[in-house]
Amino acid sequence: MTELEGKRLLIVDDDPAFTRILARAMKRRGLEVTVAHSVEEAERVLSTFIPDMATVDLKMETASGLTLIPSLRAASNEMKILVLTGYASITTAVEAIKLGATNYLPKPADADEILAALGKTQPDPDIEVNQQPMSVNRLEWEHIQKVLAEHDGNVSATARALGMHRRTLQRKLSKRPVKQ
């Protein structure tokens, strides 16, 4: 881990408990950590210095972390950008990588996983494919996320498009996605 010594990490997440713990773990590993609790705050940080790596939460109070990725990537081509979210979906993962993220991890993830994901830049065609098909619940979650993205996050429109009650969709969205 010595090669991490002194590297600057920007953590963007509006969960104070999460950022506190992660920041501490990263500092213990010798990183220089800055925390931003919103996209706006992150933009301000960017105007003062350019971090070497960044972790970005997707679901935040105000703007989505996705909107921050282009700014981060514009600030530096070398920056390692990791998207980290408790509401992971294939749709947002694809979107994030296309926007220039280096990697994408579902929460919960510990500090070592995060560092590993930040370090693994090169794609590997030989990673193994799941042997299990998706669970129905997971498939539903992915589908909902896709349609939601197509409707720019408009819950009402998505519910209409899916022929599902808005209240039900709202409840489903507030839950964490199922594993696997």
Partner DNA sequence: TGACAATGCGACATTTTGCCCCGCTGTTTT
Partner DNA sequence: AAAACAGCGGGGCAAAATGTCGCATTGTCA
**Residues forming the site for a second copy (CB under 8 A):** 58-59, 64, 66-67, 69-70, 85-95, 97-99, 103-104, 106, 123-140, 142-144, 146-147, 150, 161-164, 178, 180
Beta carbon of residue 145, minimum distance to a second copy (angstroms, whole number):
11
CB nearer to DNA: give 44 or 165: 165
Of 7 and 138, which has the nearer Cβ to DNA? 138
- Smallest Cα–Cα separation from 61: which of 36, 82, 79? 36
Residues 145-174 interacting with DNA (rule: CB under 7 A):
153-157, 164-168, 170-174
Given DNA, a second copy, none, residue 7, with its beta carbon under 5 to 8 Å by kind, binds none
Q: Is residue 176 a contact point for DNA (CB under 7 A)? A: no
State the alpha helices, DSSP H only, in 101-135: 111-119
Long-range contacts of range 163-172, CB-CB < 8 Å, 24 or more positions apart?
Answer: 169/144, 172/140, 172/141, 172/144
Helix ranges, the chain (H): 16-28, 39-48, 68-75, 90-99, 111-119, 136-150, 155-162, 166-174
| Residue placing its CB nearer to a second copy in the complex, 52 or 140 | 140
Would you tell me how many other CB atoms lie within 10 Å of the CB of residue 45? 17
CB proximity list for 81: less than 8 A, separation 6 or greater: 53, 54, 56, 69, 72, 73, 100, 101, 102, 103
* Residue 96, phi-psi category: left (phi > 0), alpha (psi -120 to 50), beta (remainder): alpha
Among DNA, a second copy, none, the one that 166 touches (CB under a kind-dependent 5 to 8 A) is: DNA
Min separation Cβ 85 and a second copy, Å: 7
Smallest distance, DNA to C-beta of residue 146, A = 16
The encoded tokens of residue 11 equal 């953590």
94 binds, among DNA, a second copy, none (CB under 5 to 8 A by kind): a second copy
User: Which of a second copy, DNA, none sits in contact with 130, Cβ below 5 to 8 A by type?
Assistant: a second copy
Name the residues that contact DNA, by CB under 7 A: 153-157, 164-168, 170-174
